[in-house]
Amino acid sequence: MSLFYIASKLFTYLVLPPGIFILMFLLASIYARRFRALFLLFAICFYALSNSYVADWLLKPLEVSYNKPINLSQKADAVIVLGGGSIAGSANLPLANDAYKRAVWALMISKQTNLPLLFSGAGTYKKYTEANAFLDSVNEIKQNLQIANIPLHVEAKSLNTYQNAKFSKQLLEEEGIKNPTIYLVTSAYHMKRSVKLYEHFGFKVIPAATDFKISNKPKDIWQVLPNIYALNKSYIALHEYVGILSLK
């Protein structure tokens, strides 16, 4: 391992965010005249949340129970996929990363089970909703990969998971389905909260998770250092825990 490689790695992890912020908090805890303990606490918390081991530890309870093959022979009325962001103005495939994985997995399930597919999500940009991005992305996939037609429906009003479940139930009831059984597709970290909300509205849910964030690839020594990817995973996990607690 060359000195240049080690130096470049240290620069990446310690000088670029979030490493630089942790160093700043540490320096403040040493040289500041007041609030030294508070700055040290910030540094410790920031480092912990930016550590890959801690991030995976936070995510594991959310993902682990859904990381297994799905039995697609179970009878259901529809496949429902939840939105996860869009990129308005994108030259192609305008769904955001998480949302695109969800959409592709839902299309695969819908094709294998011959069930209609309902996309649920509006997002905050009313001129170009997540539902618009979903339909545009699916049309591109159909044109270029020549997949068979799948019955598609969209719900373009919901702004959160609670509304996803509420408006999905209304649409299915309008189709005469009173007690629906569904394959629910969303990111693995988001599934626990989604299942609780859909069951609250009377759905029988078959979880069909995708977009897993935890890898079983062995970690190297560099994963001990803070990195932005771990910080993002920690944020995702904490956001979900707050969402689950809010259901109480």
Q: What is the pTM of this model?
A: 0.90
CA distance 40 to 211: 35
CA distance 161 to 82: 8
CA distance 166 to 84: 17
CA distance 28 to 37: 10
Residue 121 pLDDT > 90: yes
Across residues 71-95, what is the average pLDDT? 93
Residue 134 pLDDT > 70: yes
pLDDT at residue number 12 = 76
Kindly report, residue by residue over 41-60, the tens digit of the pLDDT.
Answer: 999 999 999 999 999 999 99
38 contact partners, CB below 8 Å, separation of at least 6? none
